[in-house]
Structure 1
């Protein structure tokens, strides 16, 4: 059976375990809040197309300069898509940084978050 010393040691171990779980949960909540606030913007090399993506990688804003009118529609569409990909790439960089700061990019949680965002960045719309 347990003597008083063993019981005290078990209680201390449980308290440490509980604290570690609470700390991980706090870091995960912080990560979630910070990820939800992310948005990134990219501009085409000629400055005529600006795309902003929200935390999920979806386009939230598209600004097109007047100079775009002189281009064929297909060129404009390709420029928009390239700029969208650039904004999503910036988002992935921001996600990686926030993940590293909160839960660690090498933790199981960190790897899962980054892999999920990477899949979203690489999707084709």
Structure 2
């Protein structure tokens, strides 16, 4: 068979270690995916008249306007809505970053996940314009 059983055993251990590391990384990635899917970001305007909530993909899923918004112009209110929705996206990004670091540590895959969400939250000027 093999001339050196020790070499064969060492190779088998390396394969087993690689397989275990891969399985652990897959488990942690599945866990992170579940955590991220459950996250929402929420923010309130400084005057507390607007509250926005975004889902894990950054889509606006809830908007609460205080009755006092009727005392302001539509332009002012729309600016508050946009700013508050952006702040909700920033809250979501903070949570995603935290969950990713807790779950994957300094894994390069974690950094790529966070970077992907950052790009969606802050699209480049002249791009499609909408965060997806």
Asked whether the two chains share a fold, i.e. TM above 0.5, the reply is: yes
Alpha carbon RMSD of aligned pairs, Å? 1.2
SS of alignment partner, residue 89 of structure 2: helix
Residues 86-97 of structure 1 aligned to structure 2 (within 5 Å): 86-97=87-98
Which stretches in structure 1 are left out of the alignment for 5+ residues? none
2:113 aligned residue = 113
SS of alignment partner, residue 29 of structure 2: helix
SS of alignment partner, residue 21 of structure 1: helix
Distance in 2 (CA, whole Å) between partners of 1:84 and 1:28 is 28
SS of alignment partner, residue 42 of structure 2: strand
1:12 aligned residue = 13
Quote how far apart the aligned CAs of 1:2 are: 4.0
Q: How many residues align?
A: 124
Distance in 2 (CA, whole Å) between partners of 1:64 and 1:70 is 12
Which stretches in structure 2 are left out of the alignment for 5+ residues? 124-128
Structure 1-normalised TM-score? 0.94
Distance in 2 (CA, whole Å) between partners of 1:42 and 1:101 is 23
Quote how far apart the aligned CAs of 1:6 are: 1.1
Structure 2-normalised TM-score? 0.89
2:126 aligned residue = none
Runs of 4+ in structure 1 off by over 4 angstroms are none
